[in-house]
Amino acid sequence: EAILPLRRGANGKLGVVAAGSGGMTMFAPQYHIAITNTGPDLGAQAMKAVYDMGKKAASDYLQQQGRDGGRLSGAYR
């Protein structure tokens, strides 16, 4: 856990910015999920599907950024 400042990126989105080792700047992406439900309440199965989708997106992003040239390249060594 940490207290980190919020800053706007070049694209105008608001996010957390932290200074990494070697003066490298890291940006934490934010995902916004909107659910419009006009029927009965969302069940556990639907909530699990949303959770799994977000978990996969985060995992894919970290894997992509960990490759050479990514924002996290060299961070896991």
- Tens of pLDDT, residues 10-55: 788 888 766 555 555 566 667 777 777 777 777 888 889 889 999 9
Is a pLDDT exceeding 60 seen at residue 56? yes
Q: What are phi and psi of 51, to 5 degrees?
A: -60, -45
At 19 the pLDDT is 56
DSSP track, 20-36: -GGG-EEEE--------
At 31 the pLDDT is 73
What is the rounded CA–CA span in Å between residue 57 and residue 73? 18
At 52 the pLDDT is 92
Q: Global pTM?
A: 0.44
